[in-house]
């Protein structure tokens, strides 16, 4: 259960998760720049891919949270990591198919919680105490706080920045405003893509680091002290390739169905969202770029008038956000139980 072929499988699944994360969350960085007509879809996606790759090298604090903050690394096996990844990937593909913006980050956290809980329960630990220990862990608490706070900060940031920009451009002609912000939005879209890479690419790095530690422990060796360079490069590349593949279903929801965007709106949403995500990454908090940019877009829309936001779409997003952790945890627990019985 802790063989080298299984480790290779874990690394492959982690990179697959990163790839799926990339095309699932492409919309986060480029939906606004595409919907406002600043860039054609393919060009915008390639811009996001390059910036995602660069952003993956900015910090490793989120990777540390995933690898060490949720469960005791000594109690994690490679089968646990496989089950966690399958649970997260299954939820990502389900929501992508139906065009529902959801959180890859929280899907992975849910997968880890479900798989570790099932591992401990089948190993003889009381299920209630094992579950509470996981839910109250530093990594999960930090994730849940970010789950609540980051969308609120993104919405408030989008609202505030849009109000400020509206007052600043009042003396200017509408055509001048549109031309200026079409140029500025190129920078804000790149900034958003860098932020996405800085936070989301770290999750796969953390899961591979966790698997390397489990493999080393099973063979009586010391695991790596920090994330190896090959892991960073591999995860950055996988996310960039996934981003280049594009997530057009969710892009339509993010860019068209929440509010009707103009270049100035897209710029405000991207700047507010990207800043929120980068601050969270600096704190080591795994946040959902989907949550944050969607909330920033809503904040921008609400600055015009509350009715400008299509709140029905927002309700469907909130439903998906609430279900992400428990559903991915349940799938991961089921996968672990079946794998344990089979092996």
For residue range 145-204, what is the model confidence (pLDDT) as tens digits? 888 899 899 999 999 999 999 999 988 898 898 889 988 988 988 898 899 888 888 888
- 8 A C-beta contact, residue 7 and residue 219: no
Determine the structural domain holding residue 234 and report its residue range.
Answer: 4-335
Closest CA to 200 of 277, 261, 95, 253: 277
For residue 332 the two structure tokens come to 């991961």
Residue 263 inside a domain? The answer is yes
Tell me which residue of 280, 239, 255 sits closest to 50, measured CA to CA: 239
Residue 340 lies in a domain: no
pLDDT tops 90 at residue 231 = yes
The per-residue pLDDT for range 24-71, each reduced to its tens digit, is 676 666 777 777 777 777 787 788 888 989 998 988 889 999 888 888
The pLDDT value recorded for residue 72 is 81
| pLDDT above 50 (res 258) | no
* 187 part of a folded domain: yes
The pLDDT of residue 333 is above 80: yes
Neighbours of 271 (CB within 10 A): 22
DSSP state of 98: T
What is the pLDDT confidence band of residue 255, given thresholds at 50, 70 and 90? Answer: very low
Question: For residue 74, what is the DSSP state?
Answer: G
Q: Name, in order, each residue with C-beta under 8 angstroms of 154's C-beta and a sequence gap of 6 or more.
A: 272, 273, 276, 291, 292, 293, 295, 296, 299
Determine the pLDDT at residue 312: 62
Report the distance separating Cα 247 and Cα 152, nearest Å.
Answer: 25
Query: Over pLDDT 70: what percentage of the chain?
Result: 86
Query: Looking at residue 91, what is its pLDDT?
Result: 83
- The Cα–Cα gap between 325 and 318 comes to 12
Residue 343 lies inside a defined structural domain of this protein = no
pLDDT tops 90 at residue 121: no
Q: Could you give the CA distance from residue 178 to residue 267 in angstroms, rounded to a whole number?
A: 11
Residue 166 CA, chain-centre distance (Å), reads: 30
Q: Is 208 a domain residue?
A: yes
Question: Helices 311-342 and 289-304 meet at what angle, rounded to 10?
Answer: 170
Q: Please count the other Cβ atoms lying within 10 Å of the Cβ belonging to residue 158.
A: 30
**pLDDT of the residue at 27:** 63
CA-wise closest residue to 102 among 249, 226, 214, 207: 249
Grouping H, G, I as helix, E, B as strand and the rest as coil, residue 343 is coil
Q: Is residue 315 part of a domain?
A: yes
pLDDT score, position 279: 94
Q: In the chain, how many domains are there?
A: 1
Other Cβ atoms within 10 Å of 334 Cβ, number:
17
For residue 128, what pLDDT is reported?
A: 61
Both structure tokens of 208: 């591979």
In a domain, residue 341? The reply is no
């Amino acid at each position: 259960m802790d063989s080298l072929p299984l480790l290779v499988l874990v690394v492959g699944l982690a990179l697959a998760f990163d790839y799926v994360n990339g095309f699932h969350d492409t919309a986060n960085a480029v939906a606004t720049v595409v919907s406002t007509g600043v860039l054609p879809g393919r060009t915008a996606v390639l811009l996001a891919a390059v910036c995602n790759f660069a952003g993956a090298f900015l910090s490793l604090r989120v990777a540390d949270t995933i690898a060490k903050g949720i469960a005791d690394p000594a109690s994690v096996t490679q089968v646990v990591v496989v089950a966690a990844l399958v649970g997260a990937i299954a939820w990502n593909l389900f929501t992508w198919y139906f065009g529902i913006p959801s959180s890859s980050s929280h899907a992975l956290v849910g997968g880890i919680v479900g798989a570790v809980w099932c591992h401990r329960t089948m190993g003889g630990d009381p299920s209630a105490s094992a579950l509470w220990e996981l839910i109250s862990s530093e990594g999960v608490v930090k994730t849940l706080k970010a789950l609540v706070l980051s969308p609120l900060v993104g919405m408030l940031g989008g609202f505030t920045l849009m109000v400020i920009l509206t007052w600043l451009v009042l003396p200017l002609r509408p055509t001048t405003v549109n031309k200026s912000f079409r140029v500025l939005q190129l920078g804000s879209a790149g900034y958003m893509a860098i932020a996405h890479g800085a936070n989301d690419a770290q999750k796969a790095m953390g899961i591979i680091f966790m698997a390397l530690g489990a493999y080393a422990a099973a063979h009586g060796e010391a695991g790596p002290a920090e994330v190896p360079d090959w892991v960073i490069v591999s995860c950055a590349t996988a996310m960039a390739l996934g981003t280049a593949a594009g997530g057009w279903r969710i892009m339509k929801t993010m860019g068209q169905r929440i509010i009707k965007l103009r270049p100035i709106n897209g710029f405000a949403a991207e700047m507010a969202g990207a800043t929120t995500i980068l601050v969270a990454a600096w704190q080591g908090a795994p946040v959902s770029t989907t949550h944050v940019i969607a909330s920033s877009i809503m904040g921008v829309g609400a600055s015009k008038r509350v009715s400008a936001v299509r709140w029905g779409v927002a309700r469907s997003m909130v439903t998906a956000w609430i279900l992400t952790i428990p559903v991915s945890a349940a799938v991961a627990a089921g996968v672990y139980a079946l794998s344990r019985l089979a092996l």
